[in-house]
Amino acid sequence: MKWGDLWATFSVFGVGAALTFLLMLFFSPRNSPSFFAQPSWQLLGGVLGPVYVIILTIATPAIGIAMTMIGILAGQVFKSLIIDHYGLLGTPHRKIDSKRIIALGFIIAALVLVAQG
């Protein structure tokens, strides 16, 4: 890993944090809930976001942009199927049906085909 990768990640999140701070300072309602009143699972994104960006920054040159994008899509579709099926995070239950499994299968097939190409 190069230091430039970490510096790029720090820059992206540093600028984002500064802009978010300014937006909250000028546009946030004064009676908004405290940072510490938020559920812990919502705060997990702040920790996992930079890790995700660092992994993508390191992995993309090694595996290519196509593999990276299809892998991200496959992970998101799989994760969303699980969240819908069990009704996690306050979403209504939506059973996994054959159409959803076929869609995930096509995404996985694309991942395999791109990996072999």
pLDDT in tens, 8-50: 778 888 898 899 889 888 887 777 777 778 888 788 888 888 8
Q: Which residues contact 5 (CB under 8 A, 6 or more apart)?
A: 54, 57, 58
Query: How far is residue 94's CA from residue 81's CA, in Å, rounded to a whole number?
Result: 8
Burial of 110 (0-12, 13-18, 19+ CB in 10 A): middle
At 2, the pLDDT band (50, 70, 90 cuts) reads: low
Are 54 and 6 within 8 A, CB to CB?
Answer: yes
- Among the listed ranges 16-20, 25-29, 70-74, 111-115, which one has the minimum average pLDDT value? 25-29
DSSP secondary-structure letter at 32?
A: P
- Is residue 85 pLDDT above 90, yes or no? yes
